[in-house]
Copies of this chain bind each other. A is one copy, B any other.
Amino acid sequence: MNLNKYNQIYQSLSSDIVEGKYEAGDVLPSEHKLLRQFGVSRETVRKALSLLQENGYIQKMKGKGSVVIYNPSMNLTVSHLTSFKEVQAQQTRVYTTVVHTMEKIEAGEVPHVQSALDLKGETLLWQLVRQRKYEGKTHIVDMDYFIHDMMPGLTEEIAQDSIYEYIEKRLGHSISYSHKEITFKPMTELDIELFGPVTPPYTANVKSVVHLSDATPFQYNVSKHLASEFRFVDFSRRFTGE
C-alpha cells in the first residue's frame, strides 16, 4: 500500500517494538546507524522516528537517543479512528453483528445529523442500527447515518461485515479524520429493547463525524456501550506545536 520509505522504516521499527525485540527502556539505534542500515537520508529516518513518537512508541531525547516507551499492556481500545471490525482485530473478544435496522430516510428527518454532515434536507441517508453481540448478549449498539448516493449499493451483508472495508476497497474512498465526543446517557426505550434490562441503565456514547480525505463528512455514528463495561484508552502528547 504505502510504499514510501519512511513508512517502511516506521513499519519495521514499530513491529520490532510490538514483537518485543525492543522493550520499554531500550534505546533504538541512533539516527546515523539507522540511515546507514536502511540506506536513506537522515530526514527520512527522522520522519519515521517522529511517527513512532507521535504514536506513543518512543520518546526522543536530545543527546541520548530514542527510548522505547511502548508497553504491550496498553491496548488502545476505542481510541483512534478505526471501524468496528478493525478494532476487533486488535482485541480478544469477537462480536457478531446483527443488523436491526437498515432503511433510507431524508436528512431533514434527523436535523442533528443533517447539520453535522452539512446536508440539504432532501439528501437521502442510509440509517443503520446494529447490535454487537458476544455470547448472546448485546454489548454495543451502533447507530449510523451514511450518505446514500455515496454508496447506493450498500447491502445488509456489507453492513454485517465491514462498511469501512467496502468504502475503502470497493469504492476507493479514503477515510481520513473524525471528531469524537464521549458522553454518558440514560438508556432510551430503544436501547433497553436492544440491550435488554441492565444495571445501570446508562450507556457510554461515542459520537463521531467521520470525514474523507477531501474533507467531505460522510458518516454520523453513535456507538453506544454498556456504561459499566466501557473503557476508552488514549495516548496523548503535550505541545505538538502549541
Chain B residues, Cβ within 8 Å of A192: none
Least Cβ distance of A52 to chain B in Å? 8
Judge if A237 is at the interface, Cβ distance under 8 Å. Answer: yes
Please state if A215 and B180 are interface contacts (CB–CB under 8 Å). no
A223 to chain B, nearest CB (A): 13
- A237–B238 CA distance with the chains assembled, in angstroms: 17
A22 lies within 8 A of chain B by Cβ: no
Q: Given B43, B54, B79, B227, which contacts A184 in the complex, CB threshold below 8 Å?
A: B227
Task: Decide if A202 is an interface residue (CB 8 Å cutoff).
Answer: yes
Chain B residues, Cβ within 8 Å of A48: 241
Interface size class of A (residues with CB under 8 A): 35 or more
Flag whether A108 is at the interface (Cβ < 8 A). Answer: no
Closest CB of chain B to A184's CB: distance in Å? 4
Interface residues of A in 168-211 (CB under 8 A from B): 175-184, 186, 200, 202, 204, 211
Copies of this chain, tallied across the complex: 2
Which chain B residue has the least Cβ–Cβ distance from A175?
B238
Asked whether, in the complex, the Cβ of A236 is within 8 Å of the Cβ of B80, the reply is yes
> Of B43, B55, B228, which is within 8 A of A241 by CB?
B55
Q: B200 and A240: CB pair below 8 A?
A: no
- Chain B residues positioned under 8 Å from A54 (CB to CB): 54, 240-241
Interface, chain A (partner B; CB < 8 A): 6-7, 10, 14, 43, 48, 51, 54-56, 59, 61, 67, 69, 74, 79-82, 175-184, 186, 200, 202, 204, 211, 213-215, 227-228, 230-238, 240-242
